[in-house]
Amino acid sequence: MTTSSTQARCGWLVKLIPDDTKFDFVANRFIGFGIDGVLVIATIASLWLQGLNLGIDFTGGVIVEARHEEPINVGQLRESVNTLGFGEVTIQSFGADNTVLIRVQPSAQTEGHEQEVADAIKGGLGAGFTIDRIEAVGPKVSGELFQSGVIATVLAVIMVATYVAFRFEWQFGIAALLATGHDVLMAVGMFSVLQIDFNLTSIAALLLVAGYSINDTVVIFDRIRENRRKHKKMNLGVLINLSTNQTLRRTFLTSFTTSLSVLPLLLFGGGALFGFAAAILWGIVVGTYSSVFVASCLLLYMPPLRAGAQTLPAGAGTTGAH
């Protein structure tokens, strides 16, 4: 297929965002802030009321994923596994009706004997069962993993903001810190609201969301810096509108194509990758939104980026983004 024919086939996608958009992001920033505030409140409320559904990586215990040649009677299998005497055991269908996920919660009977528990369950399932996955994590290790994961995520956000502050100016760094931290918090909120297992794979997704979010933000910040050099006396609000509109097509197309590449993971990646893919997709949506509507507009509420620069008064809009 030639380049011209490929461009012709994809032209409809490129033209979804015109070249010369003139949307007034600054004048509509309070709408963006309001929507964002609702999401933040919902996230905090969910974390407060029901918390995270911590996976075995962070709670300890044993997980066995098994499948049978025929549909599995979950009730009958639960009675069989309970006779092994491992305390609280949760069994649920996992994807198809011939696949189950067996989770043994940490208890006095299993602490320090996680591998023995996994072997006993494997042996007790009987003929016809195939073991697809076994995970056994002790409570001490799980606690250390959770602590390390939280520290890694927080440090990642701080280091990203520090990089932006050195690359541009400290005002950009503060805006990047707030926007990136917000995006990671929204991804955590998704795990809480939907009660998807939060495990080490989820931490990897959060780090990826932070990296993706700052990528879009830096593109807009870089255009703001470039336009400041060209239009030294332009009002900051007009400058933000101009820069955001100039990068809007690139931002939208990048987010759209990245989402397309992640979608197969969500649909066909199985339960082990579902949370990972869902967090990335949600992070792309929230990250794109915050980069366009939140991060750059935060500059309006900080000290001027240059001597003599004037910000807009609260509630004012701009109409000269061209």
Tell me how far apart the alpha carbons of residues 154 and 211 are, in angstroms, rounded to a whole number.
13
Per-residue pLDDT at 322: 41
The residues of the chain that CATH labels 1.20.1640.10 are: 15-54+142-301
Tell me how far apart the alpha carbons of residues 212 and 80 are, in angstroms, rounded to a whole number.
46
Residue 104 pLDDT level (bands cut at 50, 70, 90):
confident
Class of domain 61-137: alpha beta
Report angle CA 233, 236, 240 to the nearest 5 degrees: 125
In angstroms, what CA-CA distances link 125 with 60, 109, 119?
22, 20, 10
If you write DSSP's letter for every residue of 98-143 in order, what string do you get?
A: EEEEEEE---TTTTT-HHHHHHHHHHHS-TTEEEEEEEEE-HHHHH
Q: Which stretch of 67-81, 194-208, 282-296 has the lowest confidence by average pLDDT? A: 67-81
Give the pLDDT confidence of 296-313 residue by residue, as tens digits.
Answer: 888 888 776 554 344 444
Give the pLDDT confidence of 41-82 residue by residue, as tens digits.
Answer: 999 999 999 888 887 677 767 777 777 777 777 777 777 776
For the domain made up of 15-54+142-301, give the CATH fold: Multidrug efflux transporter AcrB transmembrane fold (1.20.1640)
* Cβ–Cβ < 8 Å for 55, 191: no
The residues of the chain that CATH labels 3.30.70.3400 are: 61-137
Tell me how far apart the alpha carbons of residues 133 and 224 are, in angstroms, rounded to a whole number.
50
Per-residue pLDDT at 170: 82
Higher-confidence residue: 93 or 309? 93
The mean pLDDT value for 187-198 works out to 88
Per-residue pLDDT at 312: 42
List 96's β-bridge partners, or say none: 94
The pLDDT of residue 102 is above 80: no
Q: Look up tokens 């993993």; give the residue.
A: 145
Per-residue pLDDT at 41: 92
Give the pLDDT confidence of 124-175 residue by residue, as tens digits.
Answer: 676 677 777 777 666 666 677 788 888 888 888 888 888 888 887 888 888 8
* Cβ–Cβ < 8 Å for 56, 63: yes
The pLDDT of residue 238 is above 80: yes
Q: Report which DSSP code applies to 73.
A: -
Give the pTM: 0.73
The pLDDT of residue 218 is above 70: yes
Tell me how far apart the alpha carbons of residues 64 and 205 are, in angstroms, rounded to a whole number.
23
Per-residue pLDDT at 320: 44
Closest listed residue to residue 156, CA positions, set 210, 198, 201: 210
The pLDDT of residue 24 is above 70: yes
